[in-house]
Structure 1
Amino acid sequence: MTFVQIIDCKTDRLDDLNRLMDTWAEQTRGRRTAGHAVVATDRADTKHVVEIVEFPSYEEAMRNSNLPETDRIFREMVALCEEPPTFTDLDVVRDTQFNKAVAARMFAEMSKGNVDVMDELVAEDYHDHDFANQRDTVGLAAIKAEAAGYLAAFDFTFTVERQLADGDEVATRWSWTARHKGDFMGIPATGKTVTGGGTTTFRFEDGKIKEGWWHWDVMGVMRQLGMMPS
């Protein structure tokens, strides 16, 4: 179970605190168990500083606490604060990353042949970068038409292998299996089953997909269809 520790302190020495965190990160490289750390200041009181640190589990957090560098850095942190820091220990019982869920839903609906889901998930001025295309595709109507063309050529079944989120972007590594049932790049339906994979990065704005970058094995698909030598 993911474990999160929240550290509250009062200090007007934020720069020194950040340098201290940089030192700890450098000195514990390869041994620390913390996976994510956020330092934030209270908009109503800039002296109120909150650090949020995420660990894979409580046990991993305790391993991290037992590092000699962690103990030393903590004592230096206390010296920077106006009063002793307070700690809140939390077991995470729900962790919903909404943009990741939207990206996963996009692939699930494409597997069903549902192009119209883009009306809900994609921005009107969406900008698509597909390295299999000579030009970018811009606009909701244009990307729907392009997706409909692919779905007319193949009955895709996508599998989401892994997702990573960073800020307003979500990277999804996926694989797919499809039967070639219609024209693709001038090649009529062969009935062949092809497989492939790739990575798509979506950038979100106001809860919708605003921009996308596609890297996929188009050459592999062409070889499987006999469009080029293996």
Structure 2
Amino acid sequence: MSSEESKAIVRRWHEGVFNQKRLSTIDELIDENYANHTANIVGLADARERFSELVREHPDVHLVTEDTIAEGDKVATRWNWYEKDKLIAIGMTIHRVSGGKIVEDWFCSMQMTTG
């Protein structure tokens, strides 16, 4: 799988789940043996539950991907999380993509505060 194909999968993930709230994207793009090492999400069923809950709890979320860089089977993104046009958090994620699915990822985020 090329770096461009892997980047397209991650773009579909961000757009489908967070911006369009299309939860079927989880089953389409997350591997059965998925692992999110930061949030301790293990497996597709756990991912489905946790990401669905995240979208339910944040119905106004809009994720803006600022940068996407790929090398080998890894795709790194730098993103901004907005709710109702207000910047809520900034972060970066490294996804490992294999066989057309996201197999594992790691993320780091920082919540923005208002003065």
| Length-normalised TM-score, structure 1 | 0.45
Identity %: 29
Alignment equivalent of 1:115, drawn from 23, 27, 30:
23
In 1, distance between residues paired with 2:76 and 2:87? 23
CA-atom RMSD, angstroms?
2.0
- Please say if 1:140 is aligned against 2:44: yes
User: Cα deviations across residues 177-206 of structure 1 (Å, max 9, x unaligned)?
Assistant: 115xxxxxxxxxxxxx55211111110121
Cα drift, residue 96 of structure 1: 7.6
User: Cα deviations across residues 108-137 of structure 1 (Å, max 9, x unaligned)?
Assistant: 11211112111111111101122xx4xx11
1:102 corresponds in structure 2 to 9
Alignment equivalent of 1:163, drawn from 68, 76, 79:
68
SS class of match (2:37): strand
User: Cα deviations across residues 89-119 of structure 1 (Å, max 9, x unaligned)?
Assistant: xxxxxx9810001101111112111121111
Q: Which runs of 5+ in 2 are unaligned?
A: none
- Please say if 1:153 is aligned against 2:57: yes
Q: Which protein shows a greater Rg?
A: 1
In 2, distance between residues paired with 1:120 and 1:176? 23
Regions of 4+ moved over 4 Å: none
Greater relative CO, 1 or 2 (CA 8 Å, sep 6+): 2
8 A contact 2:80–2:87 mirrored in 1: no
8 A contact 2:3–2:70 mirrored in 1: no
Q: Which runs of 5+ in 1 are unaligned?
A: 1-94, 180-192, 225-229
Question: Which structure is higher in strand share?
Answer: 2
